[in-house]
Amino acid sequence: MAIEHNVIPDAERHEPKGLSTALNGQMYMARGSDTGEWLYLPQGWGYYADNTAGQIFTTSPTKLVVNGLGTTSESAYLPREIRGSGELWDVSTSRITPIQVGDTYNLRLQFPITAKTGTPTTLEIDLDIGATTSPTIIVAARSIAVTKTPPYTISIGFPIFCLATFLANGGQFFLSTDTGTLTTVGASIFIDRNTSGEI
Protein backbone atom coordinates (compact mmCIF):
# COMPACT_ATOMS: atom_id res chain seq x y z
CA MET A 1 0.00 0.00 0.00
CA ALA A 2 1.32 3.40 -0.96
CA ILE A 3 2.04 5.89 1.81
CA GLU A 4 1.31 9.54 1.19
CA HIS A 5 4.47 11.61 1.55
CA ASN A 6 2.78 14.17 3.78
CA VAL A 7 2.14 11.61 6.52
CA ILE A 8 5.73 10.39 6.73
CA PRO A 9 7.43 11.80 9.85
CA ASP A 10 9.74 14.63 8.88
CA ALA A 11 12.86 12.93 10.22
CA GLU A 12 12.19 9.94 7.90
CA ARG A 13 11.71 11.92 4.67
CA HIS A 14 14.51 11.77 2.09
CA GLU A 15 16.28 14.84 0.73
CA PRO A 16 15.70 15.77 -2.94
CA LYS A 17 17.54 13.81 -5.62
CA GLY A 18 21.02 15.13 -6.36
CA LEU A 19 21.30 17.12 -3.14
CA SER A 20 24.55 15.38 -2.19
CA THR A 21 26.33 17.03 -5.14
CA ALA A 22 24.40 20.33 -5.22
CA LEU A 23 26.39 23.42 -4.27
CA ASN A 24 25.50 25.88 -1.53
CA GLY A 25 22.81 28.30 -2.75
CA GLN A 26 21.59 26.20 -5.68
CA MET A 27 17.93 25.34 -6.31
CA TYR A 28 16.43 22.46 -8.27
CA MET A 29 15.12 23.32 -11.75
CA ALA A 30 12.79 20.88 -13.53
CA ARG A 31 13.72 20.34 -17.19
CA GLY A 32 10.70 18.27 -18.25
CA SER A 33 10.60 14.58 -19.21
CA ASP A 34 11.33 13.64 -15.59
CA THR A 35 14.70 15.42 -15.53
CA GLY A 36 16.11 18.38 -13.68
CA GLU A 37 19.30 19.93 -12.36
CA TRP A 38 20.61 22.11 -9.56
CA LEU A 39 21.22 25.72 -10.58
CA TYR A 40 22.02 29.02 -8.91
CA LEU A 41 19.42 31.75 -8.95
CA PRO A 42 20.55 34.29 -11.57
CA GLN A 43 20.39 37.46 -9.50
CA GLY A 44 23.39 39.34 -8.21
CA TRP A 45 25.24 42.60 -8.70
CA GLY A 46 28.62 44.28 -8.83
CA TYR A 47 29.70 47.88 -8.36
CA TYR A 48 32.89 49.24 -9.87
CA ALA A 49 34.41 52.66 -9.18
CA ASP A 50 37.40 54.39 -10.76
CA ASN A 51 40.20 56.02 -8.76
CA THR A 52 42.25 57.72 -11.47
CA ALA A 53 42.91 61.45 -11.69
CA GLY A 54 40.18 61.90 -14.28
CA GLN A 55 39.08 61.49 -17.87
CA ILE A 56 38.47 64.23 -20.41
CA PHE A 57 35.72 63.77 -22.99
CA THR A 58 35.73 65.73 -26.23
CA THR A 59 33.73 65.78 -29.46
CA SER A 60 35.45 62.52 -30.49
CA PRO A 61 33.97 59.38 -28.84
CA THR A 62 36.27 58.32 -26.01
CA LYS A 63 36.07 55.02 -24.17
CA LEU A 64 35.00 55.26 -20.54
CA VAL A 65 37.60 53.73 -18.22
CA VAL A 66 36.56 52.38 -14.81
CA ASN A 67 39.45 50.53 -13.18
CA GLY A 68 37.47 49.12 -10.23
CA LEU A 69 40.10 50.36 -7.76
CA GLY A 70 37.86 52.93 -6.10
CA THR A 71 37.28 52.25 -2.41
CA THR A 72 33.52 51.84 -2.88
CA SER A 73 33.86 49.00 -5.43
CA GLU A 74 31.96 45.88 -4.34
CA SER A 75 32.02 42.30 -5.69
CA ALA A 76 30.76 40.34 -2.68
CA TYR A 77 27.21 40.10 -4.05
CA LEU A 78 27.83 38.98 -7.61
CA PRO A 79 25.63 36.20 -9.03
CA ARG A 80 26.72 32.98 -7.30
CA GLU A 81 27.42 31.47 -10.72
CA ILE A 82 30.55 33.64 -10.99
CA ARG A 83 31.13 34.80 -7.41
CA GLY A 84 34.79 34.29 -6.57
CA SER A 85 35.70 33.31 -10.13
CA GLY A 86 34.58 36.17 -12.37
CA GLU A 87 33.18 39.71 -12.57
CA LEU A 88 30.42 41.54 -14.44
CA TRP A 89 32.91 44.28 -15.40
CA ASP A 90 36.41 43.58 -16.73
CA VAL A 91 38.53 46.19 -14.95
CA SER A 92 41.50 45.61 -17.26
CA THR A 93 39.55 46.37 -20.46
CA SER A 94 36.66 48.44 -19.01
CA ARG A 95 33.98 46.22 -20.53
CA ILE A 96 30.74 44.66 -19.34
CA THR A 97 31.21 40.88 -19.26
CA PRO A 98 27.79 39.17 -19.46
CA ILE A 99 27.51 35.62 -18.20
CA GLN A 100 25.47 34.01 -20.96
CA VAL A 101 23.17 34.56 -23.93
CA GLY A 102 19.66 35.57 -22.89
CA ASP A 103 20.70 37.40 -19.72
CA THR A 104 19.15 40.74 -18.81
CA TYR A 105 20.83 43.44 -16.73
CA ASN A 106 20.10 46.84 -15.23
CA LEU A 107 22.94 49.37 -15.41
CA ARG A 108 23.63 52.61 -13.61
CA LEU A 109 26.46 54.91 -14.69
CA GLN A 110 27.60 57.78 -12.52
CA PHE A 111 29.90 60.61 -13.62
CA PRO A 112 31.04 63.35 -11.24
CA ILE A 113 31.68 66.25 -13.64
CA THR A 114 34.51 68.34 -12.21
CA ALA A 115 35.38 70.75 -15.04
CA LYS A 116 34.50 71.83 -18.54
CA THR A 117 35.91 73.96 -21.34
CA GLY A 118 33.94 75.77 -24.00
CA THR A 119 30.17 75.51 -23.78
CA PRO A 120 29.15 71.84 -24.10
CA THR A 121 25.40 71.34 -23.89
CA THR A 122 25.10 67.58 -24.48
CA LEU A 123 27.01 64.48 -23.46
CA GLU A 124 26.43 61.47 -25.73
CA ILE A 125 26.78 58.06 -24.07
CA ASP A 126 26.91 54.98 -26.33
CA LEU A 127 27.02 51.34 -25.24
CA ASP A 128 28.90 49.49 -27.97
CA ILE A 129 29.43 45.74 -28.46
CA GLY A 130 31.74 45.92 -31.46
CA ALA A 131 34.97 45.31 -29.48
CA THR A 132 36.96 47.93 -31.39
CA THR A 133 38.56 51.24 -30.40
CA SER A 134 35.57 53.26 -31.64
CA PRO A 135 31.80 52.68 -31.66
CA THR A 136 30.68 50.22 -34.36
CA ILE A 137 27.70 48.32 -32.92
CA ILE A 138 25.75 50.65 -30.63
CA VAL A 139 23.01 48.87 -28.68
CA ALA A 140 22.00 51.69 -26.32
CA ALA A 141 22.47 55.46 -26.47
CA ARG A 142 21.66 58.38 -24.19
CA SER A 143 21.93 62.15 -24.64
CA ILE A 144 22.40 64.03 -21.37
CA ALA A 145 22.18 67.80 -20.90
CA VAL A 146 25.41 69.21 -19.43
CA THR A 147 24.68 72.93 -19.18
CA LYS A 148 25.16 73.21 -15.40
CA THR A 149 28.30 74.63 -13.85
CA PRO A 150 30.66 72.01 -12.37
CA PRO A 151 30.99 70.36 -9.99
CA TYR A 152 27.89 68.16 -10.34
CA THR A 153 27.10 64.50 -10.93
CA ILE A 154 25.36 62.77 -13.82
CA SER A 155 23.61 59.48 -13.02
CA ILE A 156 21.76 57.42 -15.63
CA GLY A 157 20.25 53.95 -15.64
CA PHE A 158 18.87 51.63 -18.29
CA PRO A 159 18.17 47.94 -18.96
CA ILE A 160 20.08 45.79 -21.47
CA PHE A 161 19.91 42.23 -22.78
CA CYS A 162 22.66 39.93 -23.98
CA LEU A 163 22.79 37.97 -27.23
CA ALA A 164 25.70 36.21 -28.95
CA THR A 165 27.69 39.27 -30.09
CA PHE A 166 27.42 40.93 -26.68
CA LEU A 167 28.57 37.73 -24.98
CA ALA A 168 31.52 37.33 -27.36
CA ASN A 169 32.70 40.97 -27.30
CA GLY A 170 31.48 42.45 -24.06
CA GLY A 171 30.13 45.99 -23.88
CA GLN A 172 32.09 49.23 -23.66
CA PHE A 173 30.95 52.82 -23.26
CA PHE A 174 31.99 55.71 -25.49
CA LEU A 175 31.33 59.29 -24.44
CA SER A 176 31.46 62.49 -26.48
CA THR A 177 30.39 66.11 -26.19
CA ASP A 178 28.68 68.27 -28.80
CA THR A 179 31.35 70.94 -28.29
CA GLY A 180 34.11 71.72 -25.81
CA THR A 181 35.21 69.21 -23.17
CA LEU A 182 34.05 67.66 -19.90
CA THR A 183 36.24 66.18 -17.17
CA THR A 184 35.02 63.43 -14.85
CA VAL A 185 36.77 62.01 -11.79
CA GLY A 186 35.70 58.80 -10.05
CA ALA A 187 33.22 57.46 -12.59
CA SER A 188 31.41 54.28 -11.54
CA ILE A 189 29.15 51.56 -12.93
CA PHE A 190 26.58 49.39 -11.15
CA ILE A 191 25.60 46.15 -12.94
CA ASP A 192 22.60 44.14 -11.70
CA ARG A 193 21.84 40.79 -13.32
CA ASN A 194 18.07 40.29 -13.37
CA THR A 195 17.46 37.11 -15.31
CA SER A 196 19.45 34.32 -16.90
CA GLY A 197 19.11 32.86 -20.35
CA GLU A 198 19.38 29.51 -18.62
CA ILE A 199 16.01 29.85 -16.88
9-22 pLDDT, tens digit per residue, is 766 656 666 666 67
The residues, ordered by sequence, that sit 6+ positions from 180 with a Cβ below 8 Å of its Cβ are: 58, 116, 117, 118, 119, 120
31 plus 91 within the same structural domain: no
pLDDT below 50 — which residues of the chain? none
Q: What is the pLDDT of residue 36?
A: 73
Q: What is the pLDDT of residue 163?
A: 97
19 plus 59 within the same structural domain: no
159 plus 128 within the same structural domain: yes
55 plus 150 within the same structural domain: yes
Q: What is the pLDDT of residue 73?
A: 98
Q: What is the CATH number of the domain that holds 166?
A: 2.60.120.1120
25 plus 60 within the same structural domain: no
14 plus 50 within the same structural domain: no
114 plus 164 within the same structural domain: yes
25 plus 65 within the same structural domain: no
36 plus 74 within the same structural domain: no
Per residue in 2-52, pLDDT tens? 667 666 676 665 666 666 667 676 666 666 676 777 776 789 999 999 999
Separation of first and last alpha carbons in the chain: 38
Q: What is the pLDDT of residue 42?
A: 83
| CA 158 from centre of chain | 11
Q: How many domains does the chain have?
A: 2
28 plus 118 within the same structural domain: no
**Has this prediction a pTM greater than 0.75?**
yes
Structural domain harbouring 20: 5-40
